[in-house]
């Protein structure tokens, strides 16, 4: 079932796009492109209610922030890239680190 991008409202298929969540707050957002995370955060990160990880499915395997490397506490931001049948996950200690990571190109940024 398709969802709508939280920034541009484009249709995002179940096997495409990015899912972002604050698990402890039951907040989620969906993006058709990683670049849409940046203006979404800048304009106030309007969350929908819901989860990107189902009940009983582990969501704490990512123990460090993908940007700064700090250990993650219970409060964290999860990002899951849906690419066909594959799921590629990253986690952040705070929303601002997700913003900086996405602005820099995410895990696929160009080498400097």
**What's the rounded mean pLDDT across residues 57-71?**
78
**What's the rounded mean pLDDT across residues 5-28?**
94
- pLDDT at position 23, please? 83
Q: Which one, of 48, 49, 19, 47, lies nearest residue 31 by Cα?
A: 19
Predicted TM-score (pTM) of this structure = 0.85
**What's the rounded mean pLDDT across residues 65-78?**
89
Q: What is the mean pLDDT of the chain?
A: 88
- pLDDT at position 21, please? 93
In a domain, 12, yes or no: yes
- pLDDT at position 75, please? 84
Compare 74 and 99 and report the one with higher pLDDT: 99
By CB atoms closer than 10 A (0-12, 13-18, 19+), residue 46 is exposed
Structural domain that includes position 18 = 3-107
In a domain, 71, yes or no: yes
The total number of structural domains that make up the chain: 1
20, containing H or E segment? strand 18-22
- pLDDT at position 110, please? 54
In a domain, 85, yes or no: yes
pLDDT surpasses 70 at 61: no
In a domain, 83, yes or no: yes
């Amino acid at each position: 079932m398709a969802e709508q991008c939280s920034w541009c409202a484009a249709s995002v298929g179940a096997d495409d796009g990015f899912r972002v969540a604050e698990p402890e707050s039951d907040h989620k957002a969906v993006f058709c492109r990683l670049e849409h995370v940046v203006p979404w955060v800048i304009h106030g990160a309007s969350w929908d209610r819901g989860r990107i990880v189902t009940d009983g499915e582990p969501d704490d395997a990512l123990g460090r922030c993908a940007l700064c490397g700090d250990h993650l506490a219970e409060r964290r931001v999860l990002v899951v890239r849906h690419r066909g049948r594959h799921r590629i996950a990253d986690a952040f200690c705070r929303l601002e680190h997700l913003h900086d990571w996405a602005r820099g190109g995410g895990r696929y940024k160009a080498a400097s």
